[in-house]
Amino acid sequence: MKNTIHQIFKKLLCNDSLTENCYTVANIPPIKAHKLGIDREGRPMFFIQSTITDKVPNINLEMMSVQFNELCRLKKNNVPKNIIESYYTVITLKTDLPDYVRYFLDIVCIVLEKIGETPSQQVLLTEIQKIIDLFRRFSAPPLKTIQGLWAELFVIERANNPKYLVKSWHTSAIDTFDFNDGTDKIEVKSTSRSNRIHHFSHNQLTPNKGSNVVIASIQIVQSGMGKSIHDLRESIESKLNEPDLRFKLIDVITKTLGADFDKAHEFSFDYALACDSYRLFDINDIPCIDGYSIPEEIDNIHYDCNLSSVKSVEAPTVSYPQSELFKAL
C-alpha cells in the first residue's frame, strides 16, 4: 500500500482539489470504504468511513486537524458522475513540507490497514489518538542525536531478523539499553572519531548478572551521497509485514527526533564505511571501573572507553546460543 499511496497522492495534485463543492478523491487499494483527497493548498486529507454515535469534539492542532461525522461530497477520480455523499471522519495535514507529508501518508495508511473497512467507534478513536500523540512530538525536544538514531536504525536494517529487533527496541529515553527482549541486551554506540572511543554509563558496562550484553560499535561520518534516517526507515519498513511493527518504527523515530524531525533529511552518513566498521563486542571483554571502588554516595557515573584494542566477536551466538536477541543481529 505504501508506494501506491504516494503515487495516488501525486496524481491527485494534478487535479482540482475542490470543484462543485466536491473534494476530488481516490480509493486506497485494497480498501474501498476510505478515501484520500487534497485540500485547496494541496495538502493530504483522509476521509475515513465509520459509525460514530457519540458527539466527539473536533481536534485542531498545529500540524493536523480531525473532524468527526462530517457530511462530505466526494468526487472519485475527478469524474462528475462518481459523486459520493456520506459521513466521514476527516484527517487533514496542515503543512505541505515533503517529509511531513510522506510520514503522514505512511502513518495513516498503517492505521487504515489495522482498522479495516468498518472500524468501530472505539477502535477508530484509539488509533486517531495514537496519530495525534505522534504528531505532537514534532515540537518536543529531541531525545538523542540524529547520528545516534541513524546508528540504531543501521543495526536494525542490517539485522538477520529486523522484526525481532524492532519488537525489542527501546520505547523510552530512560532505558539503559537500546534493545532489550527481557533477557539479553544490545547497546549501540557510534563515533565519528578515527579511534573507536565510546561514551558509556557505568550501568551499561555493569548489567545485572542474569543478562548478557553486546555492544554494537559503528564508525560514522557524514556524506552527501550516503543514506539518511528516512532511507534506512524505508528499507526496514519493507521487511516488516505487521502494521503494528511498522507503526512502532515510525513512532520511535518521531519520538527520538522530536523537533529535529525536519532536519533529519539534511544528514546523510557513509553507509559503506558503517558496514566496514561495524563490530560487536561482548560486555565482559570491555574494561570498566570496578564497582567495589565506587563509594555508595556516588551515582550517575559516565566515562569514555576506547575499544580499538578490545577483541570483537564475530557471532555472539557462539557464546550465547540460546539468545533470541543475538540471533536476530
Task: Return the pLDDT at 149.
Answer: 96
What's residue 79's pLDDT?
62
Residue 80's pLDDT is 62
% of the chain at pLDDT higher than 70: 96
- Write down how long the chain is: 329
**Residue 1 pLDDT > 70, yes or no?**
no
The DSSP line for 115-140 is H-SS--HHHHHHHHHHHHHHHHGGGS
Mean pLDDT of 109-125: 91
Query: 145-170: per-residue pLDDT in tens?
Result: 999 999 999 999 999 999 999 999 99
Residues 99, 63: Cα–Cα separation, whole Å: 13
- Model-wide pTM > 0.75: yes
Task: Please report, for the chain, the start and end positions of each structural domain, with discontinuous segments joined by +.
Answer: 2-139, 146-328
User: Can you give the pLDDT at residue 209?
Assistant: 83
Q: What is the pLDDT of residue 31?
A: 85
Q: DSSP assignment of 144-194, as one string?
A: S-HHHHHHHHHHHHH-S-HHHHHHHB--STT-SSSEE-SS-EEEEEEE-SS
Mean pLDDT, residues 46-59: 87
**CB neighbours of 299 closer than 8 A, spacing ≥ 6?**
none
